[in-house]
Amino acid sequence: MIKQEDFYSKNEYPDFKSKMSIWKNVKNAIPRETKKPVLNLEYKSFAFGFAAAFTFLFVCIGIYSVVTKLSEKSEPDYIRVNKAYTRAIDEFEQTMPKIVTASNKSFNLDEMLKARNANLKNIDAGIQEIKMDAGDLSPIKQNRLRQLYKMKLDILSKMIDAEENGL
Protein backbone atom coordinates (compact mmCIF):
# COMPACT_ATOMS: atom_id res chain seq x y z
CA MET A 1 0.00 0.00 0.00
CA ILE A 2 1.14 3.51 -0.78
CA LYS A 3 2.01 5.68 2.17
CA GLN A 4 2.10 9.45 2.06
CA GLU A 5 5.20 9.51 4.21
CA ASP A 6 7.16 7.90 1.36
CA PHE A 7 6.51 10.85 -0.94
CA TYR A 8 5.91 13.85 1.32
CA SER A 9 7.54 15.06 4.46
CA LYS A 10 5.62 16.62 7.33
CA ASN A 11 6.57 20.15 6.42
CA GLU A 12 5.27 19.77 2.83
CA TYR A 13 1.66 19.31 3.96
CA PRO A 14 -0.49 22.42 3.74
CA ASP A 15 -1.82 23.80 6.98
CA PHE A 16 -5.51 24.36 7.70
CA LYS A 17 -5.50 27.97 6.51
CA SER A 18 -3.83 27.04 3.22
CA LYS A 19 -6.32 24.23 2.65
CA MET A 20 -9.24 26.61 3.17
CA SER A 21 -7.69 29.12 0.78
CA ILE A 22 -7.15 26.43 -1.90
CA TRP A 23 -10.70 25.11 -1.64
CA LYS A 24 -12.12 28.63 -1.71
CA ASN A 25 -10.25 29.34 -4.96
CA VAL A 26 -11.45 26.01 -6.43
CA LYS A 27 -15.02 26.81 -5.48
CA ASN A 28 -14.80 30.29 -7.04
CA ALA A 29 -13.27 28.84 -10.24
CA ILE A 30 -16.26 26.50 -10.83
CA PRO A 31 -18.92 28.27 -12.91
CA ARG A 32 -22.20 28.72 -11.14
CA GLU A 33 -25.38 27.08 -12.44
CA THR A 34 -27.73 29.48 -14.08
CA LYS A 35 -31.43 28.85 -13.61
CA LYS A 36 -33.16 27.55 -16.71
CA PRO A 37 -36.50 28.98 -17.71
CA VAL A 38 -39.52 27.04 -16.46
CA LEU A 39 -41.09 26.62 -19.90
CA ASN A 40 -38.33 25.61 -22.25
CA LEU A 41 -40.04 23.91 -25.17
CA GLU A 42 -38.25 22.44 -28.07
CA TYR A 43 -40.82 22.88 -30.78
CA LYS A 44 -39.43 20.22 -33.10
CA SER A 45 -39.56 17.44 -30.52
CA PHE A 46 -42.96 18.67 -29.33
CA ALA A 47 -44.36 18.48 -32.88
CA PHE A 48 -42.84 15.05 -33.48
CA GLY A 49 -44.26 13.77 -30.19
CA PHE A 50 -47.71 15.08 -31.01
CA ALA A 51 -47.57 13.53 -34.48
CA ALA A 52 -46.45 10.21 -33.02
CA ALA A 53 -49.31 10.26 -30.50
CA PHE A 54 -51.92 10.91 -33.21
CA THR A 55 -50.41 8.23 -35.42
CA PHE A 56 -50.49 5.75 -32.56
CA LEU A 57 -54.13 6.65 -31.83
CA PHE A 58 -55.20 6.14 -35.45
CA VAL A 59 -53.31 2.85 -35.68
CA CYS A 60 -55.03 1.57 -32.52
CA ILE A 61 -58.46 2.58 -33.85
CA GLY A 62 -57.70 0.86 -37.16
CA ILE A 63 -56.55 -2.34 -35.49
CA TYR A 64 -59.65 -2.37 -33.28
CA SER A 65 -62.02 -1.91 -36.21
CA VAL A 66 -60.30 -4.63 -38.25
CA VAL A 67 -60.37 -7.09 -35.36
CA THR A 68 -64.07 -6.45 -34.66
CA LYS A 69 -65.00 -6.88 -38.31
CA LEU A 70 -63.02 -10.10 -38.54
CA SER A 71 -64.63 -11.45 -35.39
CA GLU A 72 -68.10 -10.59 -36.71
CA LYS A 73 -67.40 -12.34 -40.02
CA SER A 74 -66.18 -15.45 -38.25
CA GLU A 75 -69.53 -15.92 -36.46
CA PRO A 76 -71.88 -18.57 -37.82
CA ASP A 77 -74.77 -17.38 -39.97
CA TYR A 78 -77.49 -18.27 -37.48
CA ILE A 79 -75.89 -16.08 -34.79
CA ARG A 80 -75.61 -13.17 -37.22
CA VAL A 81 -79.28 -13.60 -38.19
CA ASN A 82 -80.32 -13.70 -34.53
CA LYS A 83 -78.32 -10.53 -33.83
CA ALA A 84 -79.94 -8.83 -36.81
CA TYR A 85 -83.41 -9.74 -35.52
CA THR A 86 -82.51 -8.50 -32.05
CA ARG A 87 -81.17 -5.19 -33.39
CA ALA A 88 -84.22 -4.70 -35.60
CA ILE A 89 -86.62 -5.30 -32.73
CA ASP A 90 -84.63 -3.02 -30.40
CA GLU A 91 -84.65 -0.20 -32.96
CA PHE A 92 -88.34 -0.79 -33.62
CA GLU A 93 -89.14 -0.57 -29.91
CA GLN A 94 -87.10 2.62 -29.55
CA THR A 95 -88.79 4.37 -32.47
CA MET A 96 -92.26 3.27 -31.50
CA PRO A 97 -94.19 5.84 -29.45
CA LYS A 98 -94.32 5.09 -25.76
CA ILE A 99 -97.62 3.53 -24.86
CA VAL A 100 -98.94 5.25 -21.81
CA THR A 101 -102.39 4.54 -20.52
CA ALA A 102 -104.12 7.85 -20.17
CA SER A 103 -107.50 8.42 -18.56
CA ASN A 104 -109.09 9.62 -21.83
CA LYS A 105 -108.41 6.30 -23.63
CA SER A 106 -111.05 3.65 -23.76
CA PHE A 107 -111.15 0.72 -21.38
CA ASN A 108 -110.85 -1.78 -24.24
CA LEU A 109 -107.58 -0.23 -25.44
CA ASP A 110 -106.12 -0.54 -21.92
CA GLU A 111 -107.09 -4.18 -21.69
CA MET A 112 -105.75 -4.92 -25.16
CA LEU A 113 -102.45 -3.19 -24.42
CA LYS A 114 -102.05 -5.07 -21.15
CA ALA A 115 -102.72 -8.36 -22.89
CA ARG A 116 -100.25 -7.59 -25.65
CA ASN A 117 -97.63 -6.50 -23.11
CA ALA A 118 -98.12 -9.82 -21.35
CA ASN A 119 -97.71 -11.59 -24.72
CA LEU A 120 -94.51 -9.63 -25.34
CA LYS A 121 -93.14 -10.68 -21.96
CA ASN A 122 -93.92 -14.33 -22.71
CA ILE A 123 -92.28 -14.10 -26.13
CA ASP A 124 -89.20 -12.40 -24.60
CA ALA A 125 -89.00 -15.22 -22.05
CA GLY A 126 -89.16 -17.78 -24.88
CA ILE A 127 -86.44 -15.96 -26.81
CA GLN A 128 -84.22 -15.81 -23.73
CA GLU A 129 -84.79 -19.49 -23.04
CA ILE A 130 -83.68 -20.43 -26.56
CA LYS A 131 -80.72 -18.04 -26.39
CA MET A 132 -79.56 -19.54 -23.09
CA ASP A 133 -78.97 -22.80 -24.94
CA ALA A 134 -76.53 -21.07 -27.32
CA GLY A 135 -74.22 -24.09 -27.53
CA ASP A 136 -76.75 -26.12 -29.52
CA LEU A 137 -78.88 -24.07 -31.91
CA SER A 138 -80.29 -26.74 -34.14
CA PRO A 139 -82.31 -25.81 -37.25
CA ILE A 140 -85.54 -26.46 -35.32
CA LYS A 141 -84.51 -24.06 -32.55
CA GLN A 142 -83.39 -21.49 -35.12
CA ASN A 143 -86.75 -21.76 -36.85
CA ARG A 144 -88.58 -21.38 -33.52
CA LEU A 145 -86.45 -18.36 -32.65
CA ARG A 146 -87.33 -16.71 -35.97
CA GLN A 147 -91.02 -17.43 -35.36
CA LEU A 148 -90.80 -15.79 -31.95
CA TYR A 149 -89.11 -12.74 -33.48
CA LYS A 150 -91.85 -12.52 -36.12
CA MET A 151 -94.54 -12.82 -33.46
CA LYS A 152 -92.90 -10.06 -31.44
CA LEU A 153 -92.68 -7.76 -34.45
CA ASP A 154 -96.32 -8.51 -35.31
CA ILE A 155 -97.50 -7.70 -31.77
CA LEU A 156 -95.46 -4.47 -31.72
CA SER A 157 -96.91 -3.35 -35.05
CA LYS A 158 -100.47 -4.12 -33.82
CA MET A 159 -99.80 -2.10 -30.68
CA ILE A 160 -98.62 0.85 -32.76
CA ASP A 161 -101.67 0.63 -35.02
CA ALA A 162 -103.98 0.44 -32.00
CA GLU A 163 -102.27 3.46 -30.42
CA GLU A 164 -102.52 5.50 -33.60
CA ASN A 165 -106.14 4.57 -34.28
CA GLY A 166 -107.18 4.95 -30.66
CA LEU A 167 -109.04 1.65 -30.63
- Domains of the chain, by residue range, sit at 49-75, 88-167
Residue 138 has pLDDT above 90, yes or no: no
The burial of 116, by beta-carbon neighbours within 10 Å (0-12 exposed, 13-18 middle, 19 or more buried), is given as: middle
Buried-state track 17-30, b at ≥16 Cβ within 10 A, e below 16: eeeeeeeeeeeeee
Name the residue type at position 121. Answer: K
Span 106-134, pLDDT tens digits: 556 777 778 888 888 888 888 888 777 76
Distance between CA atoms of residues 112 and 134, nearest Å: 33
Query: Given pLDDT bands bounded at 50, 70 and 90, which one contains residue 48?
Result: very high
Highest mean pLDDT among 31-40, 95-104, 116-125, 137-146: 116-125
